[in-house]
């Protein structure tokens, strides 16, 4: 897998007029630490994040110096730089700092985060980073809980279906080349008010936005933006609740003596593709559609094994937006998964797989598939493979694709 670098720009340069006090709101304290430090801490603790640029106030040298001192304990912080007169100018300064201090490739995700969202979690940060691809930017949103009205002047003109609306949060993730293109366009067309990276992208002319999708990532209602003084009380309450929860969770996850995982996968038939099942090419007029070789049998098996060792799912380990996995032989995924089983201190004892396909008939290939899988697993284990039809019912019955189910059992070594 090609390793992508993920960089972050934390914007903490505002003056915070709505949260009056002696200092700008990013410097207000939450459980004894400035608000922006909580954001830095969350990105520091997110495994996929490689580097952080913090953008501080451009008009307050003392504050900037203080930020430089306080962020020294976070090894991922590359630089603290001064911001500009508006959010976009501050982001632009962050981009300049990334360009001159980091080795960054055009498809690397850059996550831009408001420093006054201190309750961001490493989980949401990873989910946003995962959704960024050369053709997509990622924005977390939450659905409004109240009924949403359109207001013109002093009149309510309509009720908007809230299910089709989202309240944007940060971090918002943009591939590096696109971010630079959007910021250059903004510099060349001054005067437009930009409130987030989504609107920075929307500000690009239509022809430059073609083929780029803005992906919605389910946001977190607790990822508050500290705007008013009362928001701090809510943030304190959420932090205390999190601490209580953490105290009940042991530091190291429970390691069972034996565990079973379940996997399920589906791929649709497509013309001009080879049909690969269990690493074996099976003669058929259609293959399966997918980013890799679309080996639905191995994908279900890998998911079952990952489930048994408590390691998430195939999409997390082998993302389908990664160019390195284009047309990739899925036996590679199986081999890497078996390596992970060893690294986690487990042994794959047995796996049982059922493939559901109306056509082709798979019975003649089952022994060959078993041998291929056994070669990749490279350790003795009990493998059982079954093929069935769905009696003409559903999508498999209509010969639209193939489904596979798998269970895998591991024991601790
Ligand atoms: Mg699949």
* Residue 355 CA, ligand 1 centroid: distance in Å: 13
Give the pLDDT of residue 209.
83
As given in the structure block, the two tokens for residue 352 are 């049982």
How far does the centroid of ligand 1 lie from the alpha carbon of residue 98, in Å?
A: 36
- For the record, the structure tokens of 311 come out as 């390691």
How does pLDDT run along the chain (413 residues), one tens digit per residue?
A: 456 899 999 999 976 554 456 678 888 889 999 999 999 999 999 999 999 999 999 888 899 999 999 999 999 999 999 999 889 999 999 999 999 998 999 999 999 999 999 999 999 999 999 999 999 999 999 999 889 999 999 999 999 998 889 999 999 999 999 999 999 999 998 778 888 988 888 888 888 888 889 999 999 999 999 988 889 999 999 998 888 887 776 667 789 999 999 999 999 999 999 999 999 999 999 999 998 999 999 999 999 999 999 999 999 898 887 788 888 899 999 999 999 999 999 999 999 999 999 999 999 999 999 999 999 999 999 999 999 999 999 999 999 999 999 999 999 99
Distance 113 CA to ligand 1 centre (A): 32
Domains of the chain, earliest start first:
6-247 (3.90.550.10), 258-412 (3.30.1330.50)
Q: Is the pTM for the entire model greater than 0.85?
A: no
Produce one character per residue of 117-155: b if its CB has 16 or more CB atoms within 10 Å, e if not: bbbbebebbbbbbbbbbeebbbbbeeeeeeebeeeeeee
For ligand 1, the distance from its centroid to the CA atom of residue 125, given in whole angstroms, is 24
User: CA-CA distance, 299 to 278, in Å (whole number)?
Assistant: 9
Q: What per-residue confidence (pLDDT) applies to 283?
A: 96
E strand or H helix at 246: helix 229-248
Give, to the nearest 10 degrees, the angle between helix 35-44 and helix 122-131. 60
Q: 94 - beta bridge partners?
A: none
Give residue 275 CA to ligand 1 midpoint distance, Å. Answer: 13
Ligand 1 centroid distance, CA of 196 (Å): 34
**What pLDDT does 251 receive?**
62
Task: Find the 336 Cα to ligand 1 centroid distance in Å.
Answer: 16
Residue 1 has a pLDDT of 46
CA of 334 to the centre of ligand 1 (A): 12
Q: How far is the CA of 266 from the centre of ligand 1 (A)?
A: 6
CA of 273 to the centre of ligand 1 (A): 15
Residue with tokens 């798979």: 362
Q: How far is the CA of 317 from the centre of ligand 1 (A)?
A: 12
CA of 274 to the centre of ligand 1 (A): 15
Cα 74 to middle of ligand 1, angstroms: 38
């Amino acid at each position: 897998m090609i390793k992508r670098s993920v960089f972050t720009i934390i914007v903490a340069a505002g003056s915070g007029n709505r949260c009056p006090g002696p200092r700008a709101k990013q410097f207000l304290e939450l459980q004894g630490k400035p608000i922006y430090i909580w954001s830095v801490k969350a990105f520091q603790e997110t495994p996929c994040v490689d580097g952080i640029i913090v953008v501080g106030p451009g008009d307050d040298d003392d504050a900037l110096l203080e930020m430089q001192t306080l962020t020294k304990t976070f090894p991922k912080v590359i630089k603290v730089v001064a911001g500009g007169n508006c959010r976009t100018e501050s982001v632009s300064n962050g981009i300049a700092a990334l360009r001159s201090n980091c080795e960054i490739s055009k498809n690397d995700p850059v996550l831009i985060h408001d420093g006054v969202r201190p309750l961001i979690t490493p989980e949401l940060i990873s989910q946003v980073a995962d959704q960024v691809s050369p053709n997509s930017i990622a924005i977390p949103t939450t659905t409004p809980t109240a009924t949403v009205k359109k207001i013109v002047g002093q009149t309510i003109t309509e009720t908007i279906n809230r299910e089709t609306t989202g309240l944007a949060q940060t971090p918002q993730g943009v591939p590096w080349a696109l971010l630079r293109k959007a910021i250059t366009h903004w510099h060349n067309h001054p005067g437009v008010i930009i409130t987030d990276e989504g609107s920075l992208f929307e500000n690009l002319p239509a022809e430059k936005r073609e083929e780029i999708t803005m992906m919605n990532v389910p946001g977190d209602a607790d990822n508050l933006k500290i705007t008013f003084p009362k928001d701090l009380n809510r943030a304190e309450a959420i932090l205390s609740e999190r601490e209580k929860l953490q105290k009940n969770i042991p530091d190291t996850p429970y390691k069972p003596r034996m565990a079973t995982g379940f996997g399920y996968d589906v791929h649709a038939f497509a013309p001009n593709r080879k049909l690969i099942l269990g690493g074996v090419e099976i003669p058929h007029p259609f293959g399966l559609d997918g980013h890799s070789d679309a080996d639905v049998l191995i994908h279900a098996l890998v998911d079952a094994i990952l489930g048994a060792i408590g390691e998430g799912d195939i999409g997390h380990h082998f993302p389908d937006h990664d160019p390195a996995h284009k047309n990739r032989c899925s036996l590679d995924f199986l081999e890497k998964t078996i390596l992970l089983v060893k690294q986690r201190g487990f042994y794959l004892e047995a796996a049982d797989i059922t493939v559901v396909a109306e056509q082709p008939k798979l019975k003649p290939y089952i022994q060959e598939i078993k041998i291929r899988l056994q070669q990749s697993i490279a350790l003795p284990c009990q493998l059982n493979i079954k093929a069935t039809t769905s009696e003409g019912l559903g999508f498999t019955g209509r010969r639209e694709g193939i489904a596979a189910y798998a269970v895998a059992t591991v024991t601790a070594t």
